[in-house]
């Protein structure tokens, strides 16, 4: 059956399914790397920080220009990220506290802007409040192009830079010592991450964005022992969750965004139960006792 027929039969559904699948692919893959880097909260922080940027972009431009809002959101997110890094590097504030601080401050500012914008009629026209909780159901065909571009960019960057990202994520210092330009790859990653967050805001909203980023990666971790497989699985499962979540939301008459998140969470719990629950935890790292029975010391070397 020609898949394009689907668009004729059920166009609302088709658009949203495709849109959430593409977003899920990008955010799942990128988010899984954030999980590995122990930076899972970054998605949450950035989505909260992007919110005032959206509003500011609207304020400056007056009309509902999406480009302006995306730029504003990205700039604020980038600023928040820089500020967090600055706090961690140059003050005594711990990483988690720094994230919470910056996130709260930026979002608080966003609330102030929102209250100010309430008196502005065209603000309602821009559907600004949809960015808080997402309105996946209103994905238009023109949005698909944007999401597809994002997905392609992410896939491309991951493919091309894979060897670099693998080493950087596992052992940053080693990457530097090998001569890899870590700051370039970091910047590229942050750029794509921020872009995904900002573009994904209208689907998932500020509140749910971090779930979309983190869940596929966390679940994928249970199923594989290789990073390439994990990231691939995270991206694929992100896409599938988007599709399944949208179908489910259609059946249940629930909003798509939250349905996807709930489904993703179920997937995570399922992964844990199937893969981890009955296994005894193997201990690792830091203990001087060695299980030397598993060691083969015959091939030590000449002398």
147-186 binders of another protein (CB under 8 A): 160-161, 163-164, 166-167, 169-171, 173-174, 176-180
Q: Are 80 and 45 in contact (CB under 8 A)?
A: yes
CB of 268: closest distance to another protein in angstroms? Answer: 16
Using CB under 8 A as the binding rule, the residues of this chain from 30 to 69 that contact another protein are 36, 38
CB of 14: closest distance to another protein in angstroms? Answer: 8
**94-105 burial, b if ≥16 CB within 10 A, otherwise e?**
eeeebbbebbee
Using CB under 8 A as the binding rule, the residues of this chain from 220 to 279 that contact another protein are 221, 224-227, 229-230, 246, 249-250, 253-256
**Cβ contacts of 275 within 8 Å, gap of 6 or more:** 222, 223
Q: Are 90 and 112 in contact (CB under 8 A)?
A: no
Q: Which long-range contacts (CB under 8 A, 24 or more apart) does 115-119 make?
A: 117/55, 117/58, 117/59
CB of 142: closest distance to another protein in angstroms? Answer: 9
Binding test (CB under 8 A) with another protein, winner from 41, 75, 88, 129? 129
CB of 39: closest distance to another protein in angstroms? Answer: 12
Site string for another protein, 203-222 (x = CB under 8 A): ------------------x-
CB of 300: closest distance to another protein in angstroms? Answer: 5
Give the angle subtended at the CA of 242 by the CAs of 5 and 127, to the nearest 5°.
Answer: 90
The answer to whether residue 2 forms part of the interface with another protein (CB under 8 A) is no
Site size toward another protein, by CB under 8 A: 84
Binding test (CB under 8 A) with another protein, winner from 1, 2, 3, 8? 8
The answer to whether residue 187 forms part of the interface with another protein (CB under 8 A) is no
Q: Which long-range contacts (CB under 8 A, 24 or more apart) does 115-123 make?
A: 117/55, 117/58, 117/59, 122/62, 122/63, 122/64, 123/58
Enumerate helices (H) and strands (E) in the chain, giving the number of each.
Answer: 13, 0
The answer to whether residue 102 forms part of the interface with another protein (CB under 8 A) is no
CB of 265: closest distance to another protein in angstroms? Answer: 19
């Amino acid at each position: 059956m020609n898949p394009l027929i689907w668009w004729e039969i059920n166009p609302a559904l088709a658009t949203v399914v495709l849109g959430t699948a593409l977003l899920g692919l990008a955010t799942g893959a990128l988010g899984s790397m954030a999980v590995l880097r122990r930076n899972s909260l970054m998605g949450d922080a950035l989505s909260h920080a992007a919110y005032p940027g959206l509003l500011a972009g609207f304020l400056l431009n007056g009309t509902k220009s999406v480009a302006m809002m995306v730029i504003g959101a990205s700039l604020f997110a980038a600023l928040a990220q820089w500020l967090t890094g600055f706090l961690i590097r140059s003050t005594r504030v711990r990483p988690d506290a720094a994230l919470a601080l910056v996130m709260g401050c930026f979002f608080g500012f966003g609330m102030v802007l929102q209250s100010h914008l309430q008196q502005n009629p065209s603000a309602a026209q821009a559907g600004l409040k949809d960015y808080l909780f997402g309105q996946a159901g209103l994905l238009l065909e023109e949005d698909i192009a944007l999401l597809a571009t994002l997905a392609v960019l992410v896939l491309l960057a991951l493919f091309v830079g894979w060897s670099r990202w693998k080493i950087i994520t596992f052992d940053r210092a080693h990457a530097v010592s090998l001569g890899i330009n870590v700051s370039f790859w970091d910047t590229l990653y942050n750029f794509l991450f921020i872009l995904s967050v900002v573009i994904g805001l209208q689907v998932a909203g500020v509140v749910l964005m971090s779930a979309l980023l983190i869940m596929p990666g966390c679940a994928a971790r249970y199923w594989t022992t290789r990073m390439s497989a994990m990231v691939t699985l995270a991206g694929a499962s992100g896409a599938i969750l988007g599709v399944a979540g949208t179908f489910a939301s259609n059946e249940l008459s629930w909003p798509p965004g939250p349905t996807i998140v709930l489904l993703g969470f179920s997937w995570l719990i399922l992964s844990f139960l199937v893969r981890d629950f009955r296994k005894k935890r193997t201990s690792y790292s830091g203990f001087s006792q060695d299980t030397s029975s598993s060691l083969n010391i015959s091939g030590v070397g000449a002398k």
